[in-house]
A and B are shown apart, each in its own frame.
Chain A
Amino acid sequence: MNGDLTTNPSLLLKIRDHRDHESWTLFVNLYAPPIYRFLKRQGLQDADAADLAQEVFTAVALWIDRLRYDPQRGMFRGWLFAIIRHKLYNHINRLQPPDLGSGDPVIQQRLEDEPEPEPAVPEDRVWDEEYEMCVLHWAADKVRTDFRDRTWQAFWQTSVEGRPADDVATELSMTTGAVWVAKCRVLKKLRDEIQFVEDFPRA
């Protein structure tokens, strides 16, 4: 465990220290999957997504010293997404051939007759999905072992499965109040862990 998270500097502050390999490894293990999977969902091949993900980490290592909390600019995930998008657009621009049409009016008409493609899921929503999946699962895996099975089940059944506390209480032979306490203790721990990895450096 990370000890007392209220006094523990955030991961984003820790990775500024180039000697802190442990924090950097955690950062990479946590954020490489959503970055890579986001890039794949934008249509990149495995190798291109991998290369671009590496470029994103190089940029993060370069710019993390300048990252400051700024409520106008939103959360860390937005800062990271701006870097990813910048790298992605550079990549697409490098691949795109110059815009030279054939000038053939028949081909032009055919192109115009093509049906509009289905609107894709907006890329910021794709990023949110991938980011939230990875961070939530990481935090859940981390805190799971801190609780007894019945406490975890009370949390899972109410918060994840969305079942009423009364029903869960009956099933787990607990009082409704005990279910609420169990659920909220796990929630707090999850929130603390997530805060640790995505809080902006304030120093």
Chain B
Amino acid sequence: MSPLHDCPDLSRWRELLAGNTLPAAQKVLEDHLNSCPRCAAVLETLAMGPGSPKLPLERLRTPVAPVEPALERVIQDVSRKR
């Protein structure tokens, strides 16, 4: 675990998530994450949006059922009504 004073500040993690970090700087941040679970947790919280409920991502394991004919008709009819 890295000492807290070595941890990058929030703005650097935000920039990383926004894709605004140069490759060399990204490598430094990745190296830091290798040994700092605290910053990994911070990064995850920023990605999810602070205070946001956890996404039930395990639902992605279940494939979506195919669209039934009656549902297809609903989609077509309602889409046309606007």
Contact = CB atoms under 8 A, between A and B. Distances in A.
Contacts of B5: none
Report the interface size class on chain A: 35 or more
B56 A184 contact: no
A160 B57 contact: yes
A37 B65 CA distance: 10
Interface string A132-167: 111011001000000000000000100111100100
Contact of A50 (B32, B46, B70): B70
Give the dominant DSSP class at A's interface: helix
Contacts of B74: 32, 36, 50, 53-54, 57
Contacts of A165: 40
A47 B73 CA distance: 10
Interface of B: 16-17, 19, 26, 29-34, 40, 43-44, 46-49, 52, 55-62, 64-65, 67-71, 73-75, 77-79, 81-82
Interface of A: 18, 21, 24-25, 28-29, 32-33, 36-37, 46-47, 49-50, 53-54, 57-58, 61, 129, 132-134, 136-137, 140, 156, 159-162, 165, 175-178, 180-181, 183-185, 187-188, 190-191, 194-195
